[in-house]
Amino acid sequence: MAEDQIRIDEYDPFSQDVMGNPLPYYKELRRERPVFYSEKYDGYFFSRYDDIIELLNHVDNSFMASEGTLPTPDVLTKHNTAAPPILPTDPFPLSQRLGMPIHGDVRRAHILPMMPRSVKALREFVRDRANERIDVLLPQGTFDLTREYGGIISSSVIMHLMGMPLELAGEALDLVNAGSLVNPETGGVDTGAAAKKVIEFYLPWVRKRMEQGADGSVPMVDGMINYRFEGKALSPEQVAQQLGCAFIGGIESVPKVTAHGLMELNARPEQMAQVRANLEDNVPKAAEEMIRYCAPAQWFMRTAHQPVTVAGQKIEPGQRAFYIVASALRDENRFDDPDEFQWNRDIRHTLAFGHGMHLCIGLNLARMEVRVLVDTFLRRVPSFRFDLGASVRLPSSFQWGWNSLVVSVD
């Protein structure tokens, strides 16, 4: 939609126009209404980089994910008269809804395989999987770069970290991707229902690790099995619930960033030539721009539990604060020519992985995967082209990325 047709006072992340192409709306929000109040959802939408940093710097539980991070419209239209009650800890709920320090303790329990040293050790595993996929795909000539290359590999990495057979990677990928599709009637993603299906998929493997003793050889799962809250172990179902964010996030975003990033780079022959001149040094820089420019996640939400002022706006307990990450990554006050893809852009900090107490625990793993996937593809495929007419980018209130990117190789 053209900027002169945008009614910014009617901005709604679940409207068909916004879900179809949110970027013009974000530009207008930053320019005209950087703190946008939605009476419908009794919440404030923050679209500028610095304002979102200010919001996320509140790590004292003044803002919490007590209503979830991605609630559906039917939840949001029910307004709070005060801060929502903190969930009871028996049975143990999703830790991010409890805030700190519990959420931090749960993160630390299963973060080991995503720490820098562990990620470095995984690099060759990812490269081997990338070369295996290219061996399969090159003879086909045409394939879906999102699913058949990056998607299968990212899913294989999570299967490996969960102690699950790599043969389940395709099934896991399809299950995760199905969970991010919007409801065409409500415009929302029912993340709770989607996560439940994913958890049911890998729950048997959590139970298996418990039966085997959880000796630490599968640290992502074993760490949660050995976690104790007030001296009490979690049930298999509760362990599986805590792993949902790492499982889904580890599969969902990297393939979209990689495929879209390669498309943007390929559309700019001069930049492609510069990157190819020294892949070892240049791909890490290009990968950072791909993450900024192509990150599919749009926004997240927190609920105020104390009176808080952000960007000069007072937010009362029970009101919501929405931070539009995808807008911050295109903020003119932070990036020169933000709507242009520049492979060697100087990016010293990015909100693509969040900030503060909900900083993505898989950021080191995601960065490594994007770098390896891009590097390996460019080394193995000297020439390729995209068929956007056969590709798919579905409207979405959250994961607005290329669900399918069809590429042909020469």
CATH number at residue 400: 1.10.630.10
What's the DSSP call for residue 39? T
Residue 381 confidence (pLDDT)? 98
Q: Indicate the number of domains in the chain.
A: 1
What's the DSSP call for residue 36? E
Cβ within 8 Å of residue 39, ≥6 positions away: none
CB-CB contact of 305 with 66 (8 Å): yes
Residue 187 confidence (pLDDT)? 55
Cβ within 8 Å of residue 236, ≥6 positions away: 203, 206, 207, 210
Residue 6 confidence (pLDDT)? 80
Torsion angle of C-alpha atoms 147, 248, 176, 90, degrees rounded to 10? 170
What's the DSSP call for residue 359? -
Residue 33 confidence (pLDDT)? 97
- Alpha-carbon distance of 107 to 88, in angstroms, equals 19
Sign of CA dihedral 84, 86, 92, 96: positive
What's the DSSP call for residue 397? S
Domain range holding 178? 3-409
Per residue of the chain (410 residues), give pLDDT as tens: 555 578 898 899 999 999 999 999 999 999 999 999 999 999 999 999 999 999 999 999 999 999 999 998 999 999 999 999 999 999 999 999 999 999 999 999 999 999 999 999 999 999 999 999 999 999 999 999 999 999 999 999 999 999 999 999 999 999 998 876 656 555 556 667 778 899 999 999 999 999 999 999 999 999 999 999 999 999 999 999 999 999 999 999 999 999 999 999 999 999 999 999 999 999 999 999 999 999 999 999 999 999 999 999 999 999 999 999 999 999 999 999 999 999 999 998 889 999 988 899 999 999 999 999 999 999 999 999 999 999 999 998 888 999 999 999 98
Residue 194 confidence (pLDDT)? 78
Residue 186 confidence (pLDDT)? 57
Residue 7 confidence (pLDDT)? 86
Residue 2 confidence (pLDDT)? 52
What's the DSSP call for residue 7? -
